Amino acid sequence: MSMPLSISYRMITEKAFFNQTFVENKSDMKMFYTLLIVGIATVLLVTSGTFTNQINLQIHPNSFVNGLAKYQIFALLVGILVTVSIFFLSPESRQLLSKGELSIIADKEKWLGINGKSSWRINGLQLLLFTSIATGIFMVLAVKYTNSIDNFQWSFIPLILLFSLTNSLSEELIFRFGIVGGLFNHYPKLTILIISAILFGLPHYFGWPSGFAGVLMSGVLGYILCKATIETKGLSIAWTIHFVQDIIIFTALMMINIKK
């Protein structure tokens, strides 16, 4: 005995509706937990002084350097916790912890100078150059403004490289891997790019550069790094660009805060 056509159609419709609702609810939950994880990590970074003050660490005679070292340890720990959390939330996110597909053609984006015809290997180098020039100009002006232009010491270099490496790694784990890993394949790319730009930009109101200039510069950088991560399916370009910017920033910070 065959099932009436109307009942069969209704069952198919209800099943399709249920499946669509389930997928939408799953995506919404991914969004919620991703934003919760990254949001908590952001608050921890902004309020890091509450925790780092409890760390007794002396690696340098200067208290500013010791403060940076304690922050880097704390931020790296937060980055690792975010990574583990995103692993559990989205197991497929592990593919992002690789250099990615550097030979893939970058999607066109006129305002970034990306024509949609060249690979990420080429566009990555171009973006590295342009962002470094912009960051360099801003930091040179800051150094000159504070009359710190003569304060550079070669002994700064190991610390600059170490802090740049750890800072760029922890922030890439939180704001690129954390966001892209949690939301990729569930939301449109533009949505993820905007979320990454906002969440990366806002905490830099208290960073360096600080204020609205810091938010704007970091927001644009966050957009660029997130785009590279999504399209290459890896962190190498984002981490490299971020690492070089941090070298410039930490060089200026050391010159400004450590007097000869």
pLDDT tens profile 93-125: 999 999 999 999 999 999 999 999 999 999 999
- pLDDT higher than threshold 70 for residue 2: no
pLDDT for 25 equals 65
Q: Give the angle 194-195-197 at the CA atoms, nearest 5°.
A: 65
- pLDDT higher than threshold 50 for residue 31: yes
pLDDT for 4 equals 56
Average pLDDT score over residue span 129-156:
93
Model confidence at 23, pLDDT cuts 50, 70, 90, reads very low
Least confident of 47-56, 81-90, 125-134: 47-56
Query: Which residue type sits at 78?
Result: V
pLDDT for 211 equals 87
- pLDDT higher than threshold 50 for residue 128: yes
pLDDT for 137 equals 94
- pLDDT higher than threshold 60 for residue 73: yes
CA distance 161 to 57: 19
Alpha helices in 47-155 (DSSP H): 49-52, 63-89, 120-145
In this structure, the number of other CB atoms found within 10 A of the CB of residue 37 comes to: 23
pLDDT for 70 equals 96
Mean pLDDT score of the chain: 89
Cα→Cα distances 32→86, 127, 162, 193, 245, Å? 12, 32, 34, 16, 31
Structure tokens at 200: 């990366």
pLDDT for 15 equals 45
Model confidence at 18, pLDDT cuts 50, 70, 90, reads very low
pLDDT for 20 equals 46
pLDDT for 212 equals 85
Q: Which residues contact 232 (CB under 8 A, 6 or more apart)?
A: 99, 100, 101, 102, 104, 120
- The string of pLDDT tens digits covering residues 214-243 is 899 999 999 999 999 999 999 999 999 999
Q: Give the angle 196-96-248 at the CA atoms, nearest 5°.
A: 60
